[in-house]
Structures are given as structure tokens and as C-alpha cells.
Structure 1
Amino acid sequence: ARELTEESLETIGFFVNRDPGCVTNGVRVLKDRCEVEPAFATRFQKARDLAKEKLAAMNPACRRILAYVTYDANGKVINICPL
């Protein structure tokens, strides 16, 4: 597994939508909680802000995105942070 950095956390994040038919990247939210390492808090906030900006350009039926999820190199969920 590659070492986790701020950059890798940003690039392997996924937006998740619980609405049927609008599950982005085929991923579902498993837990409603936010666990962000202090070192990544600033970058994570930027990612959340970007997600909110992108909502306006999405299909209206798929705008109710619930969380920003980050994964490690093996696909294990690291963080699930509600938007």
C-alpha cells in the first residue's frame, strides 16, 4: 500500500449519494460520522467545499450528496465526512 499523503487523500476521495439510482461510483455510505486526522483537516475542508461547489453542476435528481469518503490504497474506507 502506498503511503497516505494529503495529496492521495484528496485524489482518492469519492462523493457518495444514498438516493437509489444516484449512487456515485457505486459506493454507499456505511456510517454517518466524520473522522479526520488533524494533519488532513484543512485539505479535507477544501475537498468538502469543492464538493458543495460541484453540486450546482450535477443532475438535480442526484444533488443530495451526503458525504465525502476517502479510501486507502487498498480500497478500505478511511473517513466518511458528511457534507
Structure 2
Amino acid sequence: MAHDHDHGHGHGHHDGAKRHNLLGPEADDIAECPVMKGSMVVKAEAEASGLVRDHAGQRYWLCCAACGPLFDADPARYTTVA
């Protein structure tokens, strides 16, 4: 019986050096929407869409356009920590 030792083992598939950095934003790039608690926002995307508000020297990132008027109507409600 002849044995075929070429089992097609691909050895060139180890090119994933630190690719995890490309999978998503870093923690510093993400904020929680102050209006919709629990909704996480990518800061760069919110800024590109105009979904940011500055209040009392602090920047806040909003998850959607509906949060803008709510925040604008009562920013203190969404910026104070209980």
C-alpha cells in the first residue's frame, strides 16, 4: 500500500498579526448617548452626521437625529449624573 503524505496542509494562513484593531473602534472612540441610555455611539460617525452637542464645556454624542431636539430642550436632564 502506498501512502500519500500530501494532505494539503496550508501553512501560509498565518497573516493575522494584530488584525483585531481593524474589527472595530477603540473604547475611546465610543460614547453612550445621554438621551438613549445604553445606546453606544461611534464618536466619528456622530460628528460626521452632526449628532453632537456641547454643553457646559463637555461634548455629548447622540445616537440618532431624534435625540437632538430632546437634548436641546433640556440638556441638564441628560447631562447630570444621578
On whether the aligned pair clears a TM of 0.5, the verdict is no
Larger Rg: 2
- Which category of TM-score, normalised to the shorter sequence, fits these structures? under 0.3
* Structure that is richer in strand per residue: 1
TM-score, scaled to structure 1: 0.24
